[in-house]
Structure 1
Amino acid sequence: MKVRQDAWSHEDDLMLAETVLRHVREGSTQLKAFDEVGDRLSRTSAAVGFRWNAIVRDRYEQALKLAKKQRKEMKRAERRQPEYTKNDMHTPLQQEQPIAKPVLKTPINTTEPTQTKKELTMRDVITFLSNLEQSASSTNKLRTNLEKLESENQLLREENTLLNQRIKTLENEQQVMKEDYQSLIQIMDRARRMVVLNDNEDQNVPTFKMDKNGNLEKVAR
């Protein structure tokens, strides 16, 4: 039983994608591709299939569609060739006369555009995979920048929280000072009124002096 516990590398994922795309393009099944990759990486087919369906498949969805399209084109080309052969063999004259032999080249020539198209689409697949790898690198850089921005944003939020707490503290201190000031004003006002009241009381007390005969008389203020 083939079992490995180590993580998948980028090269393993790339090899898995290339193998699956090749099997699909050639008319094979994904299960056979999983078996091949499992033999090469010493992994189980189930583990390989899970990796493909859960992680790798989404990255190569367009390439998979292209491989399926190529498989259909190859099948159509294979279906066309027996028709030409059957028509050529149906006429006895064409089998007996050497002149009819060049007609057999017709199905071969008709498959050439398909073969050429296959080579071009293979290049397209390679280009697509290269662009996808570059896109993954750009995505990693973007993720790093986003993480840096989130870290800076978190620091700013914490600093803002500290500033808000400081503002509330200063507002509380200002309110206490305001209340103390009002209390002081009230105390000073009461003290001033008490001084005025004492002066009035002193003015209402009569003053006396003794005359020559020894009598007290009130002195007018």
Structure 2
Amino acid sequence: MSSNRQDAWSQDEDVLLAEVVLRHIREGGTQLQAFDEVGKKLSRTSAACGFRWNSFVRKQYKSGIELAKKQRKHSKKHSALSKTLEGKPETPKAVSTEDAPEAFSMGSMIQYLQKAEEAVRNEERVRNENSQLTEQISQLQDKLQGAEEELREYEEKYTLLEEDHKSLLAIFEKARKMALLQGNEDKVKFQMDKNGNLQRLNK
């Protein structure tokens, strides 16, 4: 396989990257060593693994990183204590919850579950808000369509009224001219024919 793959990362690859980096943190190794190890397993470059970790995966494992750092600190203390006790007879002692590894702490488990529950609630809230916004957009689109149809009806009515107004003005102008032509007569009578035209009636 090629040693410099450039295809998209899968979820399984992200999980493997996280597991290896967290293990190196717990064991006191460096992230560069972790990127090299993952790169060899996935046939990707160390730089690509580092970029993927810093740009995306690390954000998903903030609590895991803190926990791994605490485990590393606890491991260093335990190692130092073991060196000071070398050569001395081991005395039995009662096992207490304080001596339990940090990874099995009930408090850390509860904190992790609370954060996961909060993330689920936030996701559900966002989905509900998105659904409500989608419904509002649909209603506004319906109202807009109705308003556009109403506007077209008003425009048609306005066009008809404007044509009627022009016709009346033409009739009045024609009547005025006929009246001027018959100015010498005592009375001039007009009638309107079926086409809307004025005709002078003979006496």
Distance change >3 Å, CA 69–CA 79, structure 1 → 2: same
Does the CA-based 8 Å contact 1:74-1:114 persist in structure 2? no
1:173 to 129, 136, 156: 156
Q: Taking structure 1 as reference, are residues 9 and 77 closer, same or farther at Cα in structure 2, changes over 3 Å only?
A: same
Matched, 1:43 2:44: yes
Letter in 1 for 2:185: E
2:60 maps to 1:59? yes
Task: Please name the residue that 1:214 is paired with.
Answer: none
More helix by share: 1
Letter aligned with residue 168 of structure 2: I
Q: Counterpart in 1 of 2:26?
A: 25
* 1:124-203 mapped onto 2 (5 Å cutoff): 128=112, 139=123, 146=130, 153=137, 165-189=148-172, 201-202=185-186
User: Residue type matched to 2:30 in 1?
Assistant: T
| Contact in 1 for aligned 2:5/2:44 (Cα 8 Å) | yes
Answer whether contact 1:3 1:42 (CA < 8 A) is retained. yes
CA displacement at 1:73 relative to structure 2: 2.2
User: How far off its partner does 1:3 sit?
Assistant: 2.1
Q: Flag the 1:180–1:203 CA change in 2: closer, same or farther, 3 A.
A: closer
Alpha-carbon separation, structure 2, partners of 1:122 and 1:20: 24
Which ranges of structure 2 fall in alignment gaps of 5 or more residues?
A: 189-203
Structure 2 counterparts to residues 110-121 of structure 1, below 5 A:
113=97, 116-121=100-105
CA RMSD of the aligned region, Å?
4.6
Q: Distance in 2 between matches of 1:85 and 1:69?
A: 25
Contact 1:16 1:37 in 2 (8 A): yes
CA 1:55–1:148 in 2, change beyond 3 Å: closer, same or farther? farther
Pick closer, same or farther for the CA change 1:203–1:22 going to 2, 3 Å.
closer
TM-score when normalising by structure 2:
0.61
The alpha carbon displacement at 1:63 in A equals 1.3
Q: 1:131-173 CA distances to partner (integer Å, 9 max, x unpaired)?
A: 86xx58x959x67x949966994x7676666555544443433
Question: Which residues of structure 1 form unaligned runs of 5+?
Answer: 89-100, 205-221
> What is the CA–CA distance in structure 2 between the aligned matches of 1:19 and 1:48, rounded to whole Å?
11
* 1:185-214: CA deviation from partner (whole Å, max 9, x where unpaired): 34455666757x96992569xxxxxxxxxx
Q: Tell me how far apart the structure 2 counterparts of residues 117 and 54 of structure 1 sit (CA, whole Å).
A: 30
Distance 2:7 2:132 in 1: 30
Name 1:216's counterpart in structure 2.
none
Matches of 2:132 and 2:3 in 1, distance apart? 42
Distance 1:6 1:179, change over 3 A: closer
Matches within 5 A, 1:5-20: 5-20=6-21
Residues 174 and 111 (structure 1), Cα distance of their counterparts in 2 relative to 1, 3 Å cut: same
User: Structure 2 vs 1, CA of residues 110 and 35 (structure 1 numbering), >3 Å: closer, same or farther?
Assistant: farther
